[in-house]
Amino acid sequence: MKNLIAILILAVCLTNCSKTTQTEQTISQIHLELDFVPFHHEFFSANKQSLQDIKQKYPYLFPTEIEDSHWLSMLNDSEEKLLYQMADSVFGDLKNEKTAITSLYKHLRYYQPDFTPPKTFSVIGGLDYEHPVIYADTLVFVSLDMFLGANSEVYNSFPQYIANNYTPEHLIVALANALIDVEFPTKNGRSFIESMLYYGKKLYLLELLLPNCPEHIRLGYAKEKMQWSIENERQIWSYFITEDMLYRTDSSLQNRFLNTAPFSKFYYDFDVESPGGIGQWVGYKIVRSYMKNNKTSLTNMLSLDAETLFRKSKYKPEK
């Protein structure tokens, strides 16, 4: 009997792997040309004369009410120049990033056929941590200075758990998240389970769009904290159920288990071992369980209310 069960499990795994491989082969054959502009190079290589050519080439980046003296000041600003030099050192010709972005846009086109790849600009954003990526209609702006590496000196004033996600590997995740917010809008709710599944849907989309990106990078967790989550999934879920949290609407749960933080707050000694926002990961696991146990489309899942999704997910934490 044990051998039969093992064979059945292997057959299911092989079938799923085959479907995944076929999907990825189909996506790889999508014809898509990336329109990428290394604007950070063009701008910081400019002088007073060539600045006029750049302004004519990209008028939407130079509001008419801002005088040239502002842009010339930026070109000569030591801090701005340092950020540019560091970005140039870290990213070079951006070959890897352009390959990853092209793949991301192909995946998005597969799951959202109406998607038109935006013209994509690399910029230096002056450490604008609130807007590392801006997606505006047909244009995307990626601030390279927000992905220089967790230990970069320019992030010394940032908490380490936040700086940990300012790496080149996280650039594609930030871009994917910005695209998801626009291309796959979903509604949040007031209860804890609604919020968990809101984030869970987004993380499931990230998995589809970035299948080769490690899970801990997609979630923004340190490797050891990702492993802690996997090893303690059953205990985490038991805590949520025992404390009767799923349908509560108090904002404290958002701060304890959903927001970006150094760790989640169970109010036990092991808290520091956990990642912040552990509720997002649990929501992701519930969504994955739903998609595994129900024959449905991505569109239908995204539009499904939290209660129905949770009930039909048949979610059971791994032991």
**If you average pLDDT over every residue of the chain, what do you get?**
93
Together in a domain, 179 and 196: no
Of 62, 72, 217, 87, the C-alpha closest to 147 is 87
- Evaluate whether residue 245 is within a structural domain: yes
Residue 275 has what DSSP assignment? P
| Residue 318 banded pLDDT, cuts 50, 70, 90 | confident
The reported pLDDT for the residue numbered 160 is: 95
- Evaluate whether residue 16 is within a structural domain: no
Q: CA dist 179 to 35, 101, 159, 172, Å? A: 16, 11, 26, 11
Give the pLDDT confidence of 259-272 residue by residue, as tens digits: 999 999 999 999 99
- Evaluate whether residue 26 is within a structural domain: no
Together in a domain, 49 and 179: yes
- Evaluate whether residue 24 is within a structural domain: no
- Evaluate whether residue 22 is within a structural domain: no
The reported pLDDT for the residue numbered 279 is: 98
Contact (CB, 8 A) for 41 and 124 = no
Distance CA 82, CA 91 (A): 14
In degrees rounded to 5, what are phi and psi of residue 177? -65, -40
| Residue 294 banded pLDDT, cuts 50, 70, 90 | very high
Q: Which residue range forms the structural domain that includes residue 57? A: 36-183
Share of the chain above pLDDT 70, in %: 94
Q: Tell me the mean pLDDT in the region 240-259.
A: 96
Give the pLDDT confidence of 137-188 residue by residue, as tens digits: 899 999 999 999 999 999 999 999 999 999 999 999 999 999 999 999 998 9
Q: Tell me the mean pLDDT in the region 109-116.
A: 95
Last residue of a domain, one of 152, 183, 214: 183
Q: Is the pLDDT of residue 5 over 70?
A: no
Together in a domain, 176 and 249: no
Domain tally, the chain: 2
| Residue 73 banded pLDDT, cuts 50, 70, 90 | very high
Together in a domain, 83 and 201: no
